[in-house]
Chains A and B, each alone.
Chain A
Amino acid sequence: MSDLEKFRAETRAWLEENCPSAMREPVRGFEDLYMGGRNPEVDHPDQPVWCQRMAERGWTVPHWPREYGGGGLNKEEAKVLQQEMARIGARRPLESFGISMLGPALLKFGTEAQKQEHLPPICRGEIRWCQGYSEPNAGSDLASLQTRAEDRGDHYLINGQKVWTSYADKADWIFCLVRTDNSGSKHEGISFVLFDMASEGVTTRPIKLISGSSPFCETFFDNVRAEKRNLVGEEGKGWAIAKYLLTHEREMISGFGTAPRTSLGSVAVDTFGADASGRLRNGILRHTIAQYQLDALAFGATMSRVGDEAKAGQGLGAASSIFKYYGTELNKRRNELNLAVGGEPALGWDGDVYEGGATSRDWLRSKGNSIEGGTSEVQLNIIAKRVLGLPD
């Protein structure tokens, strides 16, 4: 038996033994995702149990190094683990911005001490992180951010306001972009600091969206103390870290555009009926759906191609620059079609008869996809300048 086969057999046996049956149920919505933290939101008592068991093996973040609480698995092993979890329908034990965003940045830019201090609690689901990037006057023009960090010797004193801080009211720590210097160009003088959200002077206020309640908050800092040992990278050089992290965020958001499992055309045929040749009765709607499905197919093929080219050592092609823009625009088209095909029930806002307004709320929420993490217009600017080489 090869090492990989042995690993598979052991993994299978361990999962069978340790994955609680409730954690093998499909994820129905956000409430089924376990985000951990000091005061975790627990929807089912088995969520923390499952998280803890997996964390003991390093399997909440299988590909991170063992010394930081990860599983130290290579690509093949991580794939086997994923397959074996999928085999029994096991949920991912822990979802967090610590895993998807801060972790990769710390692994690349953090000091050894910072990695030792912050990564293991992320893996164990003990500390939940939020991201302090946007400000009321720094959205697309993120680099013009004005939250000040004043040098006080061993610490910074932070004053200012952030906005669109997801889960700020539930997070334990924040990774935050602050201005340590105002004298140079706007990209200089930005620093990347970490501090505790329980610090004196931090307040948060939830933001209600057009789609209803949301994880977003406004976050205010009034003379908040951040220790200098929690400055990541050099002072004034935080923009490079911010951009690196944004590419991770954009990849996550562009994934929304991948082809859905159900064919919208088939759903529409069930609703509106087809003519003798099997064509959807309304030809105009049929055209719009066909164009959407064609583009979704081509987008999916492009995601595959870019991945395959990278694996074949041909590098990350220019095609990757279109993912955020195209994926989010595609998702908006899909959601508009969900309304068109769904009709009156799709417009429902509340009540069991409308499944709580899931279709309309998803539709409204999708409008934010092409704004958050860099608007479509900013993405097009990036393609025009960096890929096509068009001048300013």
Chain B
Amino acid sequence: MALVLTEEQLMLKESAAGLLAEKAGVAQLRALRDADDALGFAPDVWRDIAGMGWPGIAIPEAYGGLGYGYTGLGLVLEQAGRHLSPVPLQSTVLLGATLLNELGSEAQKQALLAPLAAGELHVTLALQEGPLHAPEDTALRAEAEGAGYRLHGSKCLVLDALAAQQFVVIARTSGLPGDSAGLTAFLVPADAAGLTVERRSLVDARGVGALQLDAVQVPADAVLGDVDAAWDGLSRSLDIANIGLAAELLGIATEAFERTVGYLKERKQFGKVIGSFQGLQHRAAELFAELELSRSLVLKALQAIDADDPQLPVLASAAKAKLCEVAQRATNEGIQMHGGIGMTDEYDIGFFIKRARVVQHCFGDYNYHLDRFARLSGF
């Protein structure tokens, strides 16, 4: 497939940039943070986004979506990264819709994807239990009881937890932590008895929470896909999610870089603009090269999702590892090259480094994905 955007995709990118810049930019993120907003996004802005059809962008038309594919969603996520948009695109659209589509039965897809595509339903993934992403190590237990299951355990890093009406909880139904077999995905409603949703506060000031499940009872039809066999669908969903997050990181890194280059052209010291110093010029030029490589890899990985490419796992880890590395460098250089003003809360560049680190961490950071890339490459 040609590594190039179509006219339709370029138009989508433009319209995403316009709406997010106006209604969900850094200023809105700052206001939500300063107001200590529990939800972490503005519901009326989400309704505007739903009006554009973006929640259903990657959902097949048969289930009420736009059927634009993940390349389209990736372009929107890149713009969300550029503007640090406080919107639940990652939780509900990238993770929620993908998990339902990959794991769900026909009946589950029929029931849930249409309201999700309409922006009325928020679904998010509850996977991580320890300090690091390690899906095989899932220990949260689900015990068969009567016609259903009882779930015991806890989860952290649940994106937009306070907005979710449904959680996709990954639980162990057999085997031991460390086994990829024996995992099952359950749909757990937010109002289930025994479920506590606790708000958490991370550096990026976005909506995130932790779950405590004390003997939460769910019926048999709460199982998403097959019992003990969530791994393949989960793994593919995580590959898709990591490529989407790589697209967001591309937007964050590119915007941080452009703001920094802009500052290099303005700021004067020693009687000259600091951008005339070769020490800074070469660092900026090297970063530009890394960003161009990042853009190619993200596009290649997004296209691999839509083309059902068997190389998807290795491309997903490649894209996430590369974008973790480059976003880290771009945001670090952003602070350093802004100097003292970059350390102040009043200036916006700090928001980029904070969001970047959270996105880098989610579902595996540089270390996790470079290791996986090497393993999948045969070493």
Chain A positions within 8 Å of B, measured between CB atoms, are 263, 265-266, 268-269, 274, 277-280, 286-287, 289-291, 293-295, 297-299, 301-302, 304-305, 308-309, 311-312, 314, 318-319, 322, 325-326, 377, 379-381, 383-385, 387-392
Q: How many Å lie between the Cα of A156 and that of B374 in the bound state?
A: 60
Contact (Cβ within 8 A) A380 B286 = yes
The one of B4, B276, B322 that contacts A390, using a Cβ cutoff of 8 Å: B276
Which residues of chain B have C-beta atoms less than 8 A from A289's C-beta? 374, 379
Contact (Cβ within 8 A) B378 A269 = yes
Contact (Cβ within 8 A) B285 A280 = no
Which residues of chain B have C-beta atoms less than 8 A from A280's C-beta? 374, 379
Q: How many Å lie between the Cα of A301 and that of B303 in the bound state?
A: 12
Which DSSP category, helix, strand, loop or mixed, fits chain A's interface?
helix
**Size class of the contact patch on chain B:** 35 or more
Which residues of chain A have C-beta atoms less than 8 A from B286's C-beta? 380
Which residues of chain A have C-beta atoms less than 8 A from B2's C-beta? 308, 311-312
Chain B positions within 8 Å of A, measured between CB atoms, are 2-4, 261, 264-265, 273, 275-276, 278, 280-282, 284-286, 288-289, 292-297, 299-300, 318, 321-322, 370-371, 373-375, 377-379
Which residues of chain A have C-beta atoms less than 8 A from B293's C-beta? 295, 298-299, 301-302, 322, 326
The one of B278, B294, B379 that contacts A268, using a Cβ cutoff of 8 Å: B379
Known contacts A269-B379, A304-B296, A326-B293, A387 near B3 by CB under 8 Å? no
Q: How many Å lie between the Cα of A302 and that of B295 in the bound state?
A: 8
A268 CB to nearest B CB, Å: 6
Known contacts A388-B261, A391-B276, A301 near B300 by CB under 8 Å? yes
Contact (Cβ within 8 A) B4 A308 = yes
Known contacts A298-B318, A309-B4, A390-B276, A326 near B289 by CB under 8 Å? yes
Which residues of chain B have C-beta atoms less than 8 A from A274's C-beta? 379
B25 CB to nearest A CB, Å: 24
A-B contact pairs, 11 of them (CB 8 A): A263-B378, A265-B377, A278-B378, A293-B373, A302-B293, A304-B300, A305-B296, A311-B4, A312-B2, A380-B286, A390-B261
Contact (Cβ within 8 A) B379 A265 = yes
Which residues of chain A have C-beta atoms less than 8 A from B4's C-beta? 305, 308-309, 311-312, 314
B353 CB to nearest A CB, Å: 21
Q: How many Å lie between the Cα of A297 and that of B297 in the bound state?
A: 8
Which residues of chain A have C-beta atoms less than 8 A from B373's C-beta? 290, 293-294
Contact (Cβ within 8 A) B377 A381 = no
B313 CB to nearest A CB, Å: 14
Contact (Cβ within 8 A) A291 B370 = yes
Which residues of chain B have C-beta atoms less than 8 A from A322's C-beta? 288-289, 292-293
